[in-house]
Amino acid sequence: MNNPEDRKDFAEKISEMCNAFGRNPRPDLIGSFFQQLIEYPLIKIIQAIDIVIKKRAEMIDKDLFSAQSLPSVPEIIYEVKKILDRKKVGCVECDGTGWILSDEGPSQATARPCKCRLKAADSNQDVGGTS
């Protein structure tokens, strides 16, 4: 978060989260969350908070006490990191490189395009056509 506008949007999101859990969104609480999450992009923090809130809702039948507890900073960071990792890797087969190294021997280190790369090429050709 490096935009001054981010702080306002962040405070609104934390207030929304506090209200969802029946907590008072005190300025010192919002400030504490802000200081601990400042290094992460606001958009990812908002997505992560939504994920944590959704997970809480799914917990209600099993563990009412935990389901009603206010999400913590480490829980939010955990989800932010998952979102950032997913975006970076993209494809699990090639780790997002688009190429898979063949293992036909050390002297024949060749790479073949990954399925995700072929898929991307296909979808480019489909532009304007019927599918």
Site for Zn ion, rule CB under 5 A? 91, 93-94, 114, 116
Give the shortest CB-111-to-Zn ion separation in angstroms.
12
Residue 96 in 3-state DSSP?
coil
CB closer to Zn ion out of 30 and 94: 94
In the structure encoding, which two tokens stand for residue 17, read together? Answer: 């989260």
CB closer to Zn ion out of 8 and 115: 115
CB closer to Zn ion out of 54 and 119: 119
CA distance 83 to 6: 19
Burial 84-101 (b: 16+ CB within 10 A, else e): eeeeeeebeebeeebebe
Give the shortest CB-43-to-Zn ion separation in angstroms.
25
Give the shortest CB-74-to-Zn ion separation in angstroms.
31
